[in-house]
Amino acid sequence: MQSSGSDVLIIRTKEMTQETKTKIVTEMEKRFDSKVTENSFETVGPSIGSEVTQAASIAVVVAALLILVYIWFAFRSIPHSYRFGTAAIIAMLHDVAVVVGVEAILCKVFGWQVDSLFLTALLTVIGFSVHDTIVVFDRIRENSNVLSRLSFERIVNHSTIQTLDRSINTQLTVVFTLLALVLFGGVTIRHFVVVLLVGMISGTYSSICNASAILVVWENKEWRYWFKGNWKKPDTSTATN
Q: Domain ranges in the chain?
A: 2-32, 46-225
10: phi then psi, degrees, rounded to nearest 5: -105, 115
pLDDT per position as a tens digit, 117-174: 888 888 888 888 888 888 888 898 888 888 878 888 899 999 999 988 888 888 889 8
Q: Contact, 154 vs 144, CB < 8 A?
A: no
User: Cβ contacts of residue 51 below 8 Å, gap of 6+?
Assistant: none
pLDDT at 78: 79
- Separation between Cα atoms, residue 225 and residue 20, nearest integer Å: 63
- The per-residue pLDDT for range 72-100, each reduced to its tens digit, is 888 887 778 888 888 888 988 899 899 99
Does the domain at 46-225 match CATH 3.40.50.300? Answer given as no
Type of residue numbered 160: T
Q: Report yes or no: 196 and 177 within 8 Å, Cβ to Cβ.
A: no
Q: What average pLDDT does the structure give for the chain? A: 80
Contact 228, 156 (CB under 8 A): no
Closest CA to 128 of 82, 197, 225, 68: 197
